[in-house]
Chains A and B, each alone.
Chain A
Amino acid sequence: NAGVMQNPRHLVRRRGQEARLRCSPMKGHSHVYWYRQLPEEGLKFMVYLQKENIIDESGMPKERFSAEFPKEGPSILRIQQVVRGDSAAYFCASSPPREGSHEQYFGPGTRLTVT
Chain B
Amino acid sequence: DAKTTQPPSMDCAEGRAANLPCNHSTISGNEYVYWYRQIHSQGPQYIIHGLKNNETNEMASLIITEDRKSSTLILPHATLRDTAVYYCIVRGAYNQGGKLIFGQGTELSVKP
Q: Which A residues form the contact surface with B (CB < 8 A)?
A: 4, 31, 33, 35, 42-45, 48, 55-56, 58-59, 89, 91, 93, 95, 99-109
- Chain B residues with CB under 8 A of A106: 43-45
Q: Do B98 and A48 touch (CB < 8 A)? A: yes
Q: Do B94 and A101 touch (CB < 8 A)? A: yes
The 7 A-B pairs at the shortest CB distance, nearest first, are namely A106-B43, A43-B102, A103-B46, A45-B99, A106-B44, A48-B98, A42-B102
Number of residue pairs across A and B with beta carbons under 8 Å?
60
Closest to B101 in A: A45
Q: What's the Cα separation between A35 and B89 when bound, in Å?
A: 15
Cβ 8 A contact of B98, one of A31, A44, A91, A108:
A31
- Chain A residues with CB under 8 A of B41: 89, 109
B100 within 8 A of A: yes
B65 within 8 A of A: no
Closest to A59 in B: B99
- With contacts A42-B102, A102-B34 taken as known, whether A56 is within 8 angstroms of B46 at the C-beta atoms is no
Q: Do A43 and B44 touch (CB < 8 A)? A: yes
- With contacts A42-B102, A45-B100 taken as known, whether A108 is within 8 angstroms of B94 at the C-beta atoms is no
Q: Do A44 and B97 touch (CB < 8 A)? A: no
Q: Do A109 and B32 touch (CB < 8 A)? A: no
| Chain A nearest Cβ from B22, distance in angstroms | 15
6 residue pairs of the A-B complex, CB under 8 angstroms, read A43-B87, A45-B99, A89-B41, A100-B94, A104-B46, A105-B46
Q: Do A109 and B104 touch (CB < 8 A)? A: no
Cβ 8 A contact of A102, one of B32, B45, B87, B103:
B32
Closest to B38 in A: A43
Q: Do B97 and A42 touch (CB < 8 A)? A: no
Q: Do A48 and B102 touch (CB < 8 A)? A: no
- With contacts A43-B44, A91-B44, A109-B43 taken as known, whether A104 is within 8 angstroms of B100 at the C-beta atoms is yes
